[in-house]
Amino acid sequence: MGYKNTRECLDALEARGELVRIDASVDANVEIGAIQRRVFQAGGPALLFNHVKGCRFPMAANIFGTRDRMHFIFRDTIDMVERLMKLKMNPMELLKRPWKYIGAPLTGYNTMPKRVSSGPIMENETSVSSLPQLVSWPMDGGGYVTLPQVYTEEPDNPGFAGSNMGMYRVQLSGNDYVPDEEIGLHYQIHRGIGHHHAQALHKGEPLKVNVFVGGPPAMTLAAVMPLPEGLAEIFFAGAMAGHRISMVKRDGGLPVPAQADFCICGTIVEGVQKPEGPFGDHLGYYSLAHDFPVLKVDKVYHRDDAIWPFTTVGRPPQEDTMFGQFIHELTADLVPSVFAGVHEVHAVDAAGVHPLLLAVGSERYVPYAEERQPQELLTNALGLLGNTQTSLSKYVLIAAREDMASGSSCHDIPGFFRHMLERVDLTRDLHFITRTTIDTLDYSGISLNQGSKLIFAAAGSVKRELGTELPSGIDLPRGFRDPQVFAPGILVIKGPKHRRKRDQQDPALDRIGDMLNTVRGIEKFPMIVVADDAGFTARDWDNFLWVAFTRSDPATDIYGVGGFTHAKHWGADKAIVVDARLKTYHAPPLDPDPEVEKRVDALGAKGGPLYGII
């Protein structure tokens, strides 16, 4: 059976040698987050901080910090949940291999929450200001909950079946929030809580919200699980936990997990928004302060032995990367049943997840054609942009399975880029969607939540040989220099500092396209990226993906070598030029505090609690 609460889980990790207790006094303001990130990067253990300055509650981090640890925590249930997901894809499996699903009825039973009259969570009350005030990065606007389970129920259909539980950012302090009375609730577009909030606004009533922290680890996983709309996360939590989730029903309020460590109960009041942020986010930049709903706090509960689980985010990979990988393992076989014609997807973590989606689809619309071209692939790509969390993708690169070598995959990023660049017809296969919604955390667009998307499709035979050596005779406009080959078919060039306003193209990029059009052999490099630091960008694939796709908006920042527009279709004869410089309107990248890093170094020195770990 799975773990019922945080302490059970940590005790098991400690018995396995995968938890280190930190008895030194640490500061929740920047220091503790820096420790967690360093230990994660080192592949280190879970951490239990027993003495947090100014707070009586211990804090735990890096609980989900390795793939092996994720599998250990959910070892009792992962196989059955994977089988049940495959069963949804192919119900005939139950008839063919019934012995594999012997535990299926019990798993189904566990999905149903169990109503109880009381539980450990109801033992104590406290205040928001008494909770750990985690500040992950130097410019963060205040203390945050970073592993919250934000629970709401549909006003029109209350109850577990109409519930939503998501991991939405919660700001506990700072800015204009009234201490202990108000907290900030940041939820991005395309989130289930938004539907509940809209219903409450339509009915003219406040929306009840509970924020759970800790409890069964399966609840944390469920809060980040991209489930189809209408499937309650709390049901999935029971399946992953291996037991029914006990829920305490409060009079007039939403239910509370009996085994949670903390719960903040409150309501979103109509017409009240306040600035939330800044916050160092998982794209590797600060998300800036913007108006978001305010949660009016009613009660704050905690159990006797409460532990505050947390993580910090930043430029990938971070601990949340482990959630993404684990979710991919659970759901990979479901992709064809959710997206007809799509065989594989890869939301690229190094590029911040939503900015870049790689996919493999079928191209069967005209099987008798002499030369395959993207047709069904475009239907596939539009399906990806119209459903679930893949709808937030900014760049969708999709290839035909019929053209891919046996065993090849879009998870082989260098190989997939090579495949795409060899086959794409730049005059035909680039399809822009402009003035549309994009991820709230992506500042490359023309305004908050608004920018563009690009479908980059490739099918058919090889159309070009990709260059691996710098073409001779490259002449660049003033301010552009240091051209270098990053990978076959990809050039990186250093550009001058960006000085244009938002929603404006830069004529200097048109000029570089015109000048490169005269360079012999430039057609062997169909992708050219202009960056602030060519050496950094071309150092490795992680750097390249992060710079190229988090710092560009397709419609604004793609130019052409031989670019043209015909009947509202844009294409390029020889290459695309991606302006991946930091823009004047971008949020700043995350930079660590040198003094804090020195304190972390001391913990890793000989005799320190992290010696031999970091």
Convert the pLDDT of each residue in 471-506 to its tens digit. 998 989 999 999 999 999 999 999 999 999 999 999
Distance (Å, rounded) from C-alpha 1 to C-alpha 98? 22
Assess whether pLDDT exceeds 60 at residue 311.
yes
Beta-carbon count within 10 A of 592 CB: 16
Report the CATH number that the domain containing residue 425 is assigned in CATH: 3.40.1670.10
Judge whether 83 and 97 are in contact, CB under 8 Å.
Answer: no
Distance (Å, rounded) from C-alpha 283 to C-alpha 457? 25
Q: Which of 229, 239, 232 is nearest to 83 (CA)?
A: 239
Do both 337 and 260 map to the same domain? no
Report the CATH number that the domain containing residue 202 is assigned in CATH: 2.30.110.10
Looking at residue 106, its pLDDT comes to 63
Convert the pLDDT of each residue in 238-278 to its tens digit. 989 999 999 998 888 999 999 999 999 999 988 889 999 99
* End position of a domain, from candidates 410, 430, 458: 458
Angle, helices 217-224 vs 233-241, to 10°: value is: 140
Looking at residue 226, its pLDDT comes to 84
Q: Do the domain assignments include residue 231?
A: yes
Do both 148 and 194 map to the same domain? yes
Looking at residue 95, its pLDDT comes to 44
End-to-end CA distance of the chain, in Å? 33
- Domains identified in the chain, total number: 2
Judge whether 273 and 184 are in contact, CB under 8 Å.
Answer: no
Give the torsion sign (CA, 148, 151, 152, 157): positive
Do both 155 and 274 map to the same domain? yes
Distance (Å, rounded) from C-alpha 442 to C-alpha 393? 11
Q: Do the domain assignments include residue 306?
A: yes
Do both 306 and 404 map to the same domain? no
Do both 300 and 339 map to the same domain? no
* End position of a domain, from candidates 290, 310, 330: 310
Region 421-440: mean pLDDT is 96
Q: What's the mean per-residue pLDDT of the chain?
A: 93
Distance (Å, rounded) from C-alpha 593 to C-alpha 42? 19
Q: Do the domain assignments include residue 159?
A: yes
Judge whether 225 and 164 are in contact, CB under 8 Å.
Answer: no
Assess whether pLDDT exceeds 80 at residue 450.
yes
**Which residues, in sequence order, are bridge partners of residue 293?**
273
Looking at residue 163, its pLDDT comes to 94
Q: Which residue's entry shows tokens 């773990």? A: 3
DSSP-based three-state secondary structure for 112: coil
Give the torsion sign (CA, 380, 383, 389, 390): positive
Q: Which of 428, 148, 423, 405 is nearest to 265 (CA)?
A: 148
Region 22-41: mean pLDDT is 97
Q: Cis before residue 507, ω within 30 degrees of 0?
A: no
Looking at residue 584, its pLDDT comes to 97
Do both 259 and 379 map to the same domain? no
Do both 172 and 291 map to the same domain? yes
Judge whether 402 and 363 are in contact, CB under 8 Å.
Answer: yes
Q: Do the domain assignments include residue 291?
A: yes
Convert the pLDDT of each residue in 132-169 to its tens digit. 999 999 999 999 999 999 999 999 889 999 999 999 99
Q: Which residue's entry shows tokens 């460590």? A: 261
Q: Do the domain assignments include residue 26?
A: yes
Q: Which of 207, 226, 228, 217 is nearest to 151 (CA)?
A: 207
Do both 172 and 299 map to the same domain? yes
Cβ neighbors of 301 (< 8 A, separation 6 or more) are 121, 122, 123, 124, 125, 126, 256, 260, 262, 263, 265
Q: Which two tokens stand for residue 272?
A: 């009240």
Do both 214 and 136 map to the same domain? yes
Do both 164 and 28 map to the same domain? yes
DSSP-based three-state secondary structure for 201: helix
* End position of a domain, from candidates 458, 478, 506: 458
428 is in which domain, residue-wise?
319-458
Judge whether 166 and 193 are in contact, CB under 8 Å.
Answer: yes
Q: Do the domain assignments include residue 424?
A: yes
Cβ neighbors of 221 (< 8 A, separation 6 or more) are 74, 237, 240, 323, 326
Q: What are phi and psi of 362, to 5 degrees?
A: -95, 150
Q: Do the domain assignments include residue 98?
A: no
Do both 305 and 326 map to the same domain? no
Do both 279 and 341 map to the same domain? no
Q: Do the domain assignments include residue 425?
A: yes
